[in-house]
A and B are shown apart, each in its own frame.
Chain A
Amino acid sequence: MNQLQNFTKGFLKENPILVMILGACPTLATTSSMINGLGMGLATTFVLLGSNTVISMMKNVIPDKVRIPAFIVVIATFVTIVDLVMQAYVPSLYDTLGIFIPLIVVNCIVLGRAEAFASKNTVWSSVVDGAGMGFGFTAALGVLGAIREILGSGSIAGLKFISGDGILVFVLAPGAFIALGYLIAIVKKVNKA
């Protein structure tokens, strides 16, 4: 597998959210608007890049039996960095995303890539894998956020294009489940074709 395929597999074919259905919690919770979704996606991408890089560097040092706790500590370190940086520089986004920033640590995507990819591959391919997966995650969050924002409040990235309200339910909890359900069905169809 060349590096380009390695990078692009996260977009559609192995998209962490839409195909593998991992990390559904932040996906549903932070996509009430496009900006929030992208913010969460970028925060997770940073953690994914950092943990993939460090874990693939340390894969020969970490004993096999304690690898999962070791991975979790590495991931938690990067999550703490993101948490503190976002609190300092983008406080409003930090407040909106709230508890879901520390919860990146239990996001199955991050640990999943560490276990399935970074612990077996070279540093460079792990970086590429992390970037590709992070990009796929961010894109899925952005798309879902955009769909919910357009339908729910009639705006995109905060710019309103209809007067009055949208279909309110799409901004609220039920709309998140329903929109993600249909998005997954569509991606399934596209991947099969």
Chain B
Amino acid sequence: MAMDSAPVESTAPGERQSSETLGSLARGRIEDLRVAAAIQAGDEKAFLGLVERHHKAMVRLAGAYVPPGAAEEVTQEAWIGVLKGLHKFEGRSSLKAWIFRILINCAQFRGSREARAIPFSALEGDSPEAAVAKERFLDADHPRWPGHWASYPAPWSEDRLLSKETLAVIAKAMDGLPQAQREVMRLRDVEEWTSAEVCEALEISEANQRVLLHRARAKVRQALEPYVSGGTR
């Protein structure tokens, strides 16, 4: 398990590694160690805090490896693994990434027993996909504007964006994504994880994560387009 790699190292451009980021990272790790110690001392509130924060996302992620009916059970197994292994947590990765690594190990193990053992990195085909359909652009041999918009995307309506139907559309669009894209977008955009956290938990490279996120967001945008176009700008 690659649990010891410090996420800061994988954060690209140097300018982003400000002392503030490092400071908040250190504070996060100290808090993680405090929570881990409290749970080991039997603090139910500290344990329930973790459960409230992560359980649902864990069940969803487990569902990428095992049949839907088994996801809840696998997640409970993972919690047992977390409790049993907590004394070994040293704060070298975030507690969140550490917990999700245990979950993924449990889910992969169960998945292999049920013949669905697929490494996360293999869940994605390599076929290049365009973020926007090529028909939306002028041809490469267009005399004046090769590769530019044939017509601009229409502005989105704020009212429609805020409607319940739109939320249903986005939920459906995300469910319809290929598995790896779906999980990356869920963790990044729904659960608001950082890219370093996602890479650490899923054991994928920054570049791979970015490609998955890029494809996922582009497809979801495309699915939303017909519902929310028609605003004014």
Q: A and B bound? A: no
